[in-house]
Amino acid sequence: MIRKLYDWVFELARHKRASWALGGISFAESSFFPIPPDVLLIPMVLARRNRWIFYATLCTITSVIGAFVGYFIGAVLYDSIGQPVLAFYGKEDSFDKVREWYNTWGGWGVLFAAVTPFPYKVLAIFSGATGLNLFIFAVVSVIGRGLRFFLVSALLYRFGEPVREFIEKRLGLMFTIGMVLLVGGFAAVKFLF
């Protein structure tokens, strides 16, 4: 089953509209969607390594735009949209406790979430809801998301074929690690806030 899913994702990565899907997932992940764009970025870079800069740039730009949507959700639509999204991640009760800390240290939190498997949309919504300085939010979002996507893409470009062989030989292990990172990111939200 994992092999079929892997083959399907690689076929999707070669599709002529794969860039649109990558941009869409990257945008949505920064504001409300739980699946990170890496699930498509990695196979796309491995399938067409010469386009790694384009894919990293696309992910960075669309992710930052999506983060602004998350910020907007927190700032303007917190009661109707932001609070239910935070409730989905189990964080609706943490808002008041986090507000003061977040306005002092939130830039570092956004940077942390931008470069790790931590659910970025949670801090994007928190940023808007707590009124984190928009300039700080924008700068750390661009730096953090750019760092994450360019680092992943550059490593895949440089070590692409051995990485692909490694993944294909250990597909079950890679799937397990990916799931642990995804679940770990959501668990981090629960325990850190």
Structure confidence by residue, pLDDT tens digits, 126-160: 889 888 889 999 999 999 999 989 988 998 898 87
Report H helices in 18-94.
Answer: 18-29, 38-47, 52-76, 83-88
**Average of per-residue pLDDT across 19-25:** 88
Q: Determine the residue type at 29.
A: E
Task: Pick the more confident residue, 58 or 32.
Answer: 58
pLDDT at 185: 59
The three-class DSSP label of residue 18 is helix
> What pLDDT score was predicted for residue 123?
81
Q: Which of 94-98, 139-143, 184-188 has the lowest mean pLDDT?
A: 184-188
pLDDT at 42: 85
Question: Which of 42-56, 88-102, 178-192 is least confident?
Answer: 178-192
d(CA 47, CA 102): 40
CB neighbour burial string for 127-140, b if at least 16 within 10 angstroms, e if fewer: bbbbebeeeebeeb
pLDDT at 182 over 90: no
Does the pLDDT at position 186 exceed 60?
Answer: no
CA dihedral 49, 120, 81, 21 (to 10 degrees): 0
Model pLDDT, residue 187: 61
Residue-number span of the structural domain to which 122 is assigned? 2-192
In this model, does residue 169 exceed pLDDT 80? Answer: no
pLDDT of residue 148: 87
Q: How many domains does the chain have?
A: 1
